[in-house]
Amino acid sequence: MIVVTGGSGFIGSALLAAFRHARVPATGTSRQPDDRRSDLVAIGNIDGQTAWDGALQGVKVVVHLAARVHVMRDTSAGALDEYRRTNVAGTARLAEQAVASGAERFVFVSSIKVNGETTHGRRFSEADAAGPVGPYAVSKYEAEAVLKATAASSGLEVVIVRPPLVYGPGVKANFLRLLRAVDRGIPLPLARVDNRRSLIGLGNLVDFLVQCALRPEAAGETFLVSDGEDISTAELVRRIGHAMGRAPRLWPAPVWALAAGARMLGQRSLFESLCGSLQVDIRRAREVLGWQPIRSLDQELADTVRWYRRERPV
């Protein structure tokens, strides 16, 4: 039996569906009860006191997705404490109870932000020293450390996965805003942006997490994953436009002007996410698991656009 925390979320729902498709017994957890989902166990808030027992009976593999997620403008004085409460103390509590219940493997979905925010001419790899920036990234790095210590003391097989930006059906936040902008023909000042960013589509990430849960070779590993194709933000907008059958409205603002405007508006992080580079090396996943992305970036974008047109989230 496998349990997926955050089973009602963007990634968790897709992962549970993949396990069902593969006929692998799996259940999920959510913070709140959901009468529409018989495959979810409500566990309340996640912190150092969460009672996971009811969700761990007979479970051999835990895939931990539930987290306090990164919020672009979360710069409050107590932000790190809040992230630590859920992402560090909550993860430690889950790992402790997983060991006590007899679980054998713990797959932790961390973040590429543990490596850092930007790359400069070389891709991030698993061998790099950590460089987390901001409370979210710090909390994910500390949670990784807690899990490694638990593995050393208990024999629990820990697998750490650090994905970059994940997109696909159900995506929210900045990627959804980008979809809306292209759909509505909003002019975007990104034509001169010549950065390179790694992304991962939901289908590719779910396929990789299934392998991390089931393959013996994954034990004890840390993996960076992506679609295997790095593109500029401007090219991403063009690919989204192509999937929509629209010509996106890109205009050539100087990148230095975008940077200056971002500084004035206190949006440095948004500028880096749009104009900076962040590339990951996925060779370790290929070497250890023989993994290749099962879908191309364009296929994943097409699925995302079909969902967007069907749902038209407001």
β-pair type (61-64, 2-5): parallel
**Exactly one of 136, 141, 167, 308 is catalytic; which is it?**
136
Name the DSSP class of 36.
Answer: T
- Neighbouring C-beta atoms of residue 184, cutoff 10 Å: 9
Q: How far is CA 74 from CA 27, 55, 71, 79, in A?
A: 32, 31, 5, 7
Q: Is 167 a catalytic site residue? A: no
Tell me the residue length of the chain: 314
Give the residue among 85, 80, 107, 81 at the shortest CA–CA distance from 26.
107
Task: Please say whether the beta carbons of 236 and 174 come within 8 A.
Answer: no
Token pair listed for 88: 């560090």
Token pair listed for 158: 């820990």
CA dihedral 87, 89, 93, 96 (to 10 degrees): 100
Active-site positions read 136
